[in-house]
């Protein structure tokens, strides 16, 4: 959704959160365990990160992907 007056995205305030380094690490870990053709079974992912992705409105897609992939979170 784009604001017609200034062309800014209505989600722009939240989208900036996706550029945090821990988001890239989570995405890599999801790929490594579930999408990588060389993945060889179950695994454990553990990071010490900010917890904003657990409730933040900018991380809806990330949480959905995690729910689809993980047994526990």
pLDDT score, position 7: 43
CA 35 to chain CA mean position, Å? 15
| Proportion of the chain above pLDDT 90, given as a percent | 0
**For the chain, what is the mean pLDDT?**
75
Domain ranges of the chain: 18-69
Task: State the Cα torsion 47-29-39-35 to the nearest 10°.
Answer: 150
Q: How many residues does the chain have?
A: 73
pLDDT tens figures, 5-29? 444 455 555 666 667 788 888 888 8
Q: CB of 1 within 8 A of CB of 11?
A: yes
DSSP helix/strand/coil, 18: helix
What's the average model confidence in pLDDT over 44-66?
81
Q: What is the pTM of this model?
A: 0.58
């Amino acid at each position: 959704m784009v604001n017609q007056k200034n062309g800014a995205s209505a989600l722009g305030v939240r989208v900036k959160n996706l550029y945090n380094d821990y988001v890239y690490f989570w995405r890599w870990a999801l790929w490594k365990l579930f999408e990588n053709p060389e993945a060889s079974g179950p695994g454990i992912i553990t990071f010490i990160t900010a917890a904003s992705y657990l409730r933040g409105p900018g991380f809806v897609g990330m949480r959905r992907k995690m729910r689809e992939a993980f047994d526990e979170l």
